[in-house]
């Protein structure tokens, strides 16, 4: 009897097995699908978070134009209060010089004694505006450290500035090729350091640079003239004779759209005023030149004011010489 229905029983058993497998598999995909969806969602969220994080730290900072300014003092660096600088420098004296200049400015300066130490600091803290990087240091020098830093996009927001006494064009090219954006010459010049910080500062308040431009720096003008008093006087007289009416001349040229002639006149004024020590007039003449080159509206108010003050100062100077 059993043998008679052997095939039917076998077929029935197979059906039960297949039904069991079907029910099992029907439940499994739902669970797997949920797990897979969860994993994908979590992974996507993680990736999006990472992309946002990388973008926030790797976005390059726009380089700002430094307005004309007078001689820089330590007080002027307070403009950058709150900024952070990584100083990679192995020479203790050079460290003290920079720390002394920036000491009361509100700028936080973290010191690394060589390239390797700078890299170690960056692994834990990348919130810096600038890295002042000595080119020649033990263990890892500035060139190699810069190349390593430039390979990591999370450091793209940091401007690397070379500190070096090397001033030959080949040396500076080597620094640029390594990824250093700027070059600060040793011994350090305080005005050059100020300009670098201004260019790369993250702060939006940088609208009022020092305004201590001299109307007539007589001693500097004399030095430019080789301390030849008569020669300096001749230059001043020539300036009065040639450029006393330059504000009116510029107004006429610009009104007639003769911008090329106006630009040439301004170029002459910049050269002469710089030679006699007329910083304020040099600055305002340069500002007008920049406005012309950018096709911006030109205002002669400041130039006219500086010109009249300069003429008065020159005349007063001659009175004291008689």
Distance, in Å, from the CA atom of 41 to the CA atom of 12, rounded to the nearest integer, reads: 44
Task: Give the per-residue pLDDT at 307.
Answer: 94
Q: What is the pLDDT of residue 39?
A: 47
For the chain, the domains span 74-200, 218-321
Cα separation, 86 vs 127, whole angstroms: 9
Question: Where is pLDDT greater, at 282 or 13?
Answer: 282
Both tokens of 30, joined, read 């739902």
Could you tell me the sign of the dihedral formed by the alpha carbons of 55, 123, 172, 79, in that order? positive
In tens, the pLDDT along 44-96 reads 444 434 443 444 445 665 687 887 777 888 888 988 988 999 999 999 999 99
As a whole number of angstroms, the distance between CA 266 and CA 58 comes to 41
Using CA atoms of 12, 16, 18, 23 in order, give the dihedral in degrees to the nearest 10. 160
Tell me the β-bridge partners of 87: 111, 132
pTM above 0.75, yes or no: no
Q: What six digits make up the tokens of 130?
A: 């600038």
Q: Which residue has the higher pLDDT, 287 or 28?
A: 287
Q: Report pLDDT digits (tens) over 115-143.
A: 999 999 999 999 999 999 999 999 999 99
* Structure-block tokens of residue 301: 């108010």
Give start and end residues of each alpha helix (H) in the chain. Answer: 6-58, 92-102, 115-124, 142-150, 169-178, 190-200, 218-224, 229-243, 246-255, 259-276, 279-293, 301-321
Structure tokens given for 244 = 């006393």
| CATH number belonging to domain 74-200 | 3.40.50.2300
């Amino acid at each position: 009897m059993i043998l008679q229905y052997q095939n039917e029983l076998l077929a029935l058993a197979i059906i039960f097995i297949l039904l069991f497998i079907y029910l099992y598999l029907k439940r499994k995909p739902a669970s797997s699908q949920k797990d897979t969806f969860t994993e994908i969602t979590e992974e996507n969220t993680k990736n999006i978070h990472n992309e946002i994080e990388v973008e926030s730290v790797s976005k390059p900072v726009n380089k700002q134009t430094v307005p004309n300014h007078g001689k820089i003092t330590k007080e002027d660096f307070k403009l950058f209060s709150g900024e952070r600088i990584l100083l990679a420098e192995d020479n203790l004296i050079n460290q003290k010089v920079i720390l002394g200049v920036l000491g009361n400015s509100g700028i936080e300066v973290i010191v690394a004694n060589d390239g390797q130490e700078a890299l170690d600091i960056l692994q834990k803290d990348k919130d810096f505006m600038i890295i002042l990087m000595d080119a020649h240091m033990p263990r890892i020098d500035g060139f190699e450290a810069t190349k390593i830093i430039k390979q990591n996009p999370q450091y793209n927001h940091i401007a690397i500035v070379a500190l070096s006494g090397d001033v030959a064009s080949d040396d500076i090219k080597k620094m640029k090729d390594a990824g250093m954006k700027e070059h600060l010459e040793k011994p350090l010049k305080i005005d050059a350091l100020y300009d670098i910080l201004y260019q790369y500062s993250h702060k939006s308040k940088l609208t009022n640079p020092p305004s201590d431009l001299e109307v007539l720096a007589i001693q500097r003008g004399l030095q430019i003239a080789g301390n030849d008093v008569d020669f300096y006087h001749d230059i001043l007289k020539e300036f009065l004779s040639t450029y006393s009416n330059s504000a009116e001349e510029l107004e006429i040229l610009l009104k007639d759209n003769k911008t090329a002639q106006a630009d040439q006149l301004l170029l002459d004024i910049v050269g002469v005023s710089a030679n006699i020590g007329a910083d304020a007039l040099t600055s305002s003449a340069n500002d007008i030149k920049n406005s012309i080159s950018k096709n911006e509206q030109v205002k002669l108010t400041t130039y006219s004011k500086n010109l009249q003050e300069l003429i008065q100062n020159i005349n007063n100077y001659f009175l004291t010489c008689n």
